């Protein structure tokens, strides 16, 4: 249908008004809220150290790494009593250490928790069954056939005067290869774990440490008095922890309910900030907030780090 002149004229007016409206600016009243920043020193803290079950770790550790010491325990499927030769294959990037092999004297379980004092009844540390110097990655270690008896009972323990790590059966299992004449067999690993010495008291006051291999956690107590009333308006609420030097593992925060909070490590100035904003936005009725700081994965290494000068940095806006 043909469009009449009045219709076309009306359409033109609408288009002009639309373009003019898009090009104009509207004035809105805006009153920015003041943003406040406060830093609160945290002067109440301590460190706890607990043993953990290590049977589920991706790596095994043995030997001395100050201030720690450790043994690896391995048990394989049953072997023939009479073998011509015996080789242990480990997956490891480490080298340049001598490994010593000992017999395990009692039944043990991969999912159990063992302490350093259990070595006395668990491992015969007085008798070295065999030893081997490791000079390459992924070594294939020839063991004396006399080790077969220990392997067929409760397995073997590995130790070193240096520190050595290798893959567990969860990651890339240790394997045995045995030869009977011209025939060779591969023997699978049934269970493994590492046993570590705890060099610290179970509770150390006025000290902050985090570590792996053990549950080494810092407990901090933050008074609620300095916290602003309108906690929903937090833009930032982070606990800052200073370090003397670099840290080689990730650190996270926990609350008493086990919730985890992420951290950021600032390597250029050696401090960690843990983002507790969501925790501080929640309701709290106590005179203080109890938070914990520890390693992100306590099983994947043996290490400890001291933290210094904890503080809480808050930024919030006060709404009218």
End-to-end CA distance of the chain: 59
Domain of 266 in residue numbering reads as: 35-50+200-317
Average pLDDT value for the chain? 87
Q: Indicate the residue among 175, 196, 217 that finishes a domain.
A: 196
Q: What digits encode the pLDDT tens for the residues 8-36? A: 555 555 555 555 555 555 554 545 566 77
The pLDDT of residue 39 is: 87
Q: What digits encode the pLDDT tens for the residues 300-316? A: 899 999 999 999 888 87
On whether both 230 and 168 belong to a single domain, the answer is no
On whether both 100 and 183 belong to a single domain, the answer is yes
Q: 108 or 314: whose pLDDT is higher?
A: 108
Q: Is residue 218 assigned to a domain? A: yes
CATH number of the domain to which 289 belongs: 2.60.120.970
In the predicted model, is pLDDT for residue 282 greater than 70? yes
What is the total count of domains within the chain?
Answer: 2
Alpha carbon 53 to its chain's center: 14
- 167-171-177 Cα angle (round to 5): 65
On whether both 240 and 278 belong to a single domain, the answer is yes
- Backbone φ and ψ for 304, nearest 5 degrees, come out as -145, 145
The pLDDT of residue 127 is: 96
């Amino acid at each position: 249908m043909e469009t009449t002149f009045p219709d076309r004229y009306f359409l033109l007016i609408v288009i002009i008004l639309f373009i003019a409206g898009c090009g104009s600016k509207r004035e809105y009243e805006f009153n920015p809220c003041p943003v406040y920043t406060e830093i609160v020193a945290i002067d109440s803290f301590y460190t706890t150290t607990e043993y953990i079950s290590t049977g589920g770790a991706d790596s095994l550790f043995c030997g001395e790494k100050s201030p720690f010491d450790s043994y690896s325990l391995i048990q394989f499927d049953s072997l023939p009593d009479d073998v011509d030769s015996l080789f242990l294959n480990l997956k490891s990037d480490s080298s340049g250490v001598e490994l010593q092999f000992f017999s395990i004297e009692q039944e043990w379980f991969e999912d159990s928790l063992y302490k350093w004092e259990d070595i006395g009844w668990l491992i015969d540390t007085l008798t070295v069954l065999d030893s081997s110097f490791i000079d390459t990655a992924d070594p294939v270690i020839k063991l004396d056939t006399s080790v077969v008896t220990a392997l067929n009972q409760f397995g073997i323990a590995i130790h070193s005067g240096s520190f050595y790590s290798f893959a567990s059966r969860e990651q890339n299992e240790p394997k045995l290869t045995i030869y009977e004449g011209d025939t060779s067999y591969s023997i699978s690993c049934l269970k493994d774990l590492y046993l570590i010495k705890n060099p610290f008291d179970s509770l150390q006051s006025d000290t902050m440490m985090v570590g792996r291999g053990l549950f080494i956690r810092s407990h901090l107590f933050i008074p609620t008095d300095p916290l602003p009333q309108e906690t929903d308006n937090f833009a930032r609420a982070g606990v800052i922890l200073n370090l003397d030097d670099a840290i080689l593992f990730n650190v996270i925060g926990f609350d008493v309910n086990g919730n985890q909070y992420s951290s950021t490590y600032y390597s250029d100035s050696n401090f960690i900030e843990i983002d507790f904003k969501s925790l501080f936005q929640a309701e709290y009725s106590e005179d203080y907030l109890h938070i914990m700081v520890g390693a992100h994965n306590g099983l994947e290494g043996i290490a400890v780090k001291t933290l210094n000068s904890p503080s809480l940095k808050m930024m919030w806006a006060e709404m009218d």
